[in-house]
A and B are shown apart, each in its own frame.
Chain A
């Protein structure tokens, strides 16, 4: 039997290739893994969106889990996820801080007035400097920070309640917060 080896080798190589392709199909090319995961939060202190005299920063929510949501009024995905953010805020498990990225203050304030404000505070980053420290490359992006000040998760793209329940809630300590 000389046949098997001659035909088996290409078939095997093909099977390996197919394996790679299948693995590739399951990965979302839009998601670049963040090197920030399990690292301490990149510290920042910026003007508050609502009041330029007020500073908003990463130290504000230290000692408890919190979310950082990167958004802008020019970002369609942000409009899409807004209702989910409102629900998460209402749920009250974690406070959400907003990072308003490369936006116009008036437009951003109007957006919050019209659609509701899910944020405990919003940092205003019109030049995108803090966004670079957080490795932001496309809004919306949502980070989960734990009580020790480490980034535990990054979600790229609009968040929804399904993602929130499946991917974020299990990472939160049970019983923390609560309405």
Chain B
């Protein structure tokens, strides 16, 4: 029981253990929170599937320093995201922007779900029809072996 509890505790804490950048950068807790949120939303382009908060690559450290400098310079979140995409493209955003060229991407889960429902509906209707037809057939010829 204790072992299971320990394992669960480890699992619960593991996201915290991944973060490389744990130091306090700002006196102001609001700014610190903004900083932490921004670095989680930016991709480390060297390691690809990690955010710059999780990566200890040199580039990630440089980009964290840049985010810090931009926050200190009083830039808004939008301006900081724009700063990054002007240089590295949309790929740096871990959350792709909603734009005409990404509508399909964002709509894909809903489209797949709708497609699945459509298939299920067709199958149920068809089964129902076959069931009715069989029942009717049975009623017509009840004594047939």
Contact = CB atoms under 8 A, between A and B. Distances in A.
Contact of B59 (A34, A42, A128, A129): A128
Nearest to B86: A35
Interface residues of B, number: 13
A33 interface: yes
Interface in B27-69: 45-46, 58-59, 62-63, 66
Nearest to B69: A129
A173 interface: no
A28 interface: no
B88 interface: yes
- Prevailing SS type, chain A contact patch: loop
B46 A138 contact: yes
Contacts of B46: 137-138
User: Which of B63, B85, B86: most chain A CB closer than 10 A?
Assistant: B86
Contacts of A138: 45-46, 59
- Prevailing SS type, chain B contact patch: helix
B62 A132 contact: yes
Interface in A80-129: 102, 127-129
A137 B59 contact: yes
Contacts of A35: 85-89
A35 B88 CA distance: 6
Contact of A34 (B58, B62, B89): B89
B66 A135 contact: no
B81 interface: no
User: Which of B46, B63, B66, B88: most chain A CB closer than 10 A?
Assistant: B88
Contacts of A36: 87
User: Which of A102, A135, A137: most chain B CB closer than 10 A?
Assistant: A137
Interface of A: 32-36, 42, 102, 127-129, 131-135, 137-138
Given A35-B87, A35-B89, A138-B45, 9 more contacts: A32-B45, A34-B89, A35-B88, A102-B58, A128-B59, A128-B62, A129-B66, A135-B87, A138-B46
